[in-house]
Amino acid sequence: MTTGTVFNIQRYSIHDGPGIRTTVFLKGCQLNCWWCQNPESRLSGQEMIFWGDRCIGCGACSTICPSGAIQIKNGIPVTEKEKCILCGKCIEKCPALAREMIGEKLTAEEVIKEIEKDLIFYEESGGGVTFSGGEPLGQTEFLEGLLNGCREKKIHTAVDTSGYISWGILNKISPKVDLFLYDLKLMDNERHKKYTGVSNEIILKNLEKLSSVHNNIFVRFPVIPGINDDYQNIREIGEFLSSLKIAQLNILPYHHIGIDKYKRLGKKYKLVDIQPPSKEKLSEVSAILKKFNLNVKLRG
């Protein structure tokens, strides 16, 4: 029985493909994008999140912790992550629900049962399920089991990917996917390394190959002010995509939704001072890309 690690199943999604969708978020991602809205997706295994605003400072978590990972300092529990064994006892003991385990081991069958609960919405809206993350292709066998299960139930499937995966895996999974949501961030390799932690060479090559074997790809371009919204990057994206078989290009405006998650995970967010792009900027980006005869849509 195929199992994988899921950190969220979000119902009634309207920006992860056509129609009303259920988005299943799988843990694990090799990219480290500065603007990532799901920092809890990066690690492949479970991790603990701490809601400091809920904590009442009772010390129950410190008392129950079998590995001595939690110490009370100035009335606040501080967790030494290297000591934490993720046993979950502090979660059970916390009266304020200030701790939560992120990531749950599920079988493909269990996830399919959850997806099936929304069949009526898919049928009426032309929607389906979107597998996102993290990088869903990183859990290849699990994803394949989910796609097979959806195909048996005749549920439309979309896979949201960074493209940072071996072509062998991408090519193998391609026939089972109805729609690819393919992220494209920066064309310059050095800038891509700086802001995501990895080279974009395999990402660009995979998109070229995928566009030759799959006829339904929506490329997603997140507009991050001061990082990738310059004319040169936008023009190079337009030129590159104009040579491929792409059904749609979605412009995704940067937002602040993920900031609080970083605090709860004890991580630093690098783009605190960056504001979402203006309507005028988004219109400008859209106008440039449309000149390359691309089917450009805002969000989606």
Domains of the chain: 3-44+103-298 (3.20.20.70), 49-100 (3.30.70.20)
Nearest to 47 by CA among 76, 90, 85, 9: 85
Q: Are 295 and 249 in contact (CB under 8 A)?
A: yes
Mean predicted confidence (pLDDT) in 218-234 = 97
Question: How far is it, in rounded angstroms, from Cα 123 to Cα 136?
Answer: 24
Banded pLDDT at 266 (limits 50, 70, 90): confident
Question: What tokens appear for 253 in the block?
Answer: 């405006």
Banded pLDDT at 177 (limits 50, 70, 90): very high
pLDDT digits (tens, 9 = 90+) for 194-220: 999 999 999 999 999 999 999 999 999
Check residue 128 and give left, alpha or beta (phi > 0: left; psi -120 to 50: alpha): left
Residue 27 has pLDDT above 80, yes or no: yes
The answer to whether the peptide bond before residue 134 is cis (omega within 30 degrees of 0) is: yes
pLDDT > 90 in the chain, percent: 88
Render the burial of 217-228: b for 16+ CB within 10 Å, e for the rest: bbbbbbbbbebb
Please count the helices (runs of H) and the strands (runs of E) in the chain. Answer: 11, 13
Banded pLDDT at 258 (limits 50, 70, 90): confident
Q: What is the pTM of this model?
A: 0.93
- For the chain, helix, strand, coil in percent to 5 are 35, 25, 40
| 33-37, 50-54, 133-137, range with the lowest pLDDT | 50-54
Residues 6+ apart with CB under 8 A from 40: 7, 27, 47, 49, 102, 103, 261, 265
Residues 6+ apart with CB under 8 A from 45: 5, 27, 86, 103
pLDDT of residue 300: 66
Question: How far is it, in rounded angstroms, from Cα 76 to Cα 140?
Answer: 40
Residues 6+ apart with CB under 8 A from 199: 189, 192, 193
pLDDT of residue 247: 97
- Provide the 3-class DSSP secondary structure of residue 111: helix
Nearest to 84 by CA among 65, 57, 104: 65
Residue 130 has pLDDT above 80, yes or no: yes
